[in-house]
Amino acid sequence: MQTKPKPHILIICTGNCCRSHIAEGLLRHLSCDELEVHSAGTHPTGFVHPLAIETMLEHGIDITAQESKSLSRFDGEPFDYVITLCDDALQECPVSLGTKKQLHWSTEDPSFAPGTNEDRKKAFRKTIRLLEERIKMLLEEIGGKNKL
């Protein structure tokens, strides 16, 4: 019996340090690893933000193994979905001819949130909730097409 390939998703933001890693971790978790998920940045920072790791751990999702990487790592790779999370990434992201669907989910960067450490954590938690809702809708769409 031949196994159907997993839907292939790329999530892009500018720095690839928090939003895209949060979305990558949520997609893997909420799909029970039924998706092939990657994230990248148009100008990667080279690290995953510690508050992204900490607040995702509060949700029971470990993203410590994820790494900040450049969009160029995925040149020529076909994706079923490409999701941009910031307007800068949308403008810089080359439209891949092999991409079946491109989505844009403009999402504030919680790493720029002002205030105390607790204020900043609240911004990360807000980002997680927002992306979780969008991802649940996407999973319904993908599930309807692919029966996850």
Q: Which of 13, 17, 18, 32 is catalytic?
A: 13
Secondary structure, 3-state, 86-98? CHHHHHHCCCCCC
Is there a catalytic annotation at residue 17?
Answer: no
Question: What is the CATH number assigned to the segment(s) 8-140?
Answer: 3.40.50.2300
- 90-121 residue pLDDT tens: 887 765 546 789 999 999 999 999 999 999 99
Give Cα 144 distance to the centre of its chain. Answer: 21
- Tokens in use for 40? 């990248």
Is there a catalytic annotation at residue 93?
Answer: yes
Domain boundaries, the chain: 8-140
Q: Which of 17, 18, 32, 93 is catalytic?
A: 93
- Tokens in use for 24? 């990558």
pTM above 0.85, yes or no: yes
Question: Strand (E) positions, the chain?
Answer: 8-13, 36-41, 81-84, 101-104
- 52-85 residue pLDDT tens: 999 999 999 999 999 999 999 998 888 999 999 9
For the chain, the distance separating the N- and C-terminal CA atoms, rounded to the nearest angstrom, is: 17
